[in-house]
Amino acid sequence: MYALRFGEEPPLRRSVEQLRGIEGARVRETYKHIAARFGVQWKVRNYDTKDWDKGDLPNRCLSAATACLYGVTEAAVLAAGYAPAIGFIHTGKALSFVYDVADVYKFDTVVPLAFRIAAGEPHNPEQQVRLACRDVFRESRLLERIIPGIEDMLAAGEVAAPERFDEQVGPAIPNPESIGDAGHRA
């Protein structure tokens, strides 16, 4: 996951806690860099789940964007049959694996989008973020990339894909062959 996210192998002989610290520092620097690129004043990643309006505009845009990313990622994790709670980097939460997987795609998709929208200071930033996320997910074909990405991540850890077993039941109602693209019904 580290190599996929940062484009380089992780430092050798580091504990998971040390890698988390290195990752955190890199993420903070990446936020600063992307905010500067869009001319957004950036302080720190800070949000209060109990008081949404307390956060500043860039943090609200980032929170809305990552929520969209987590939704798409959770759908892919569940569709592929993986457990969303069993994470490697994130632990102890119902969506730990979802967060692990989403982090691989976050800075290529939703973070630049969130800062771009924050720079425009829109009247309804959350709506703008949701619409922009929908578009970037479709244009980047993100949902199609996540499941093979998960398989690559697990293969890197030398975890074999589960074998099909005799008692396994296929879909109760298989999808008929479609004549259109993904947006059309058969």
Q: Which residue do the tokens 């949404």 mark? A: 52
Helix, coil or strand: residue 113: helix
Size of the chain, expressed as the number of residues it contains:
186
Query: pTM of the predicted model, to two decimals?
Result: 0.79
Q: Which residue do the tokens 């980032």 mark? A: 62
**Cα–Cα distance, 53 to 30 (Å, whole number):** 24
Helix, coil or strand: residue 46: coil
Q: What pLDDT is stored for residue 91 in this prediction?
A: 86
Domains of the chain: 2-156 (1.20.120.920)
Q: Please give the chain's pLDDT, 186 residues, in tens.
A: 767 777 788 788 888 788 888 888 999 999 999 999 999 999 999 888 788 778 899 999 999 999 999 999 999 999 998 999 998 888 899 999 999 999 999 999 999 999 999 999 999 999 999 999 999 999 999 999 999 999 888 887 676 666 777 887 777 777 666 666 655 554
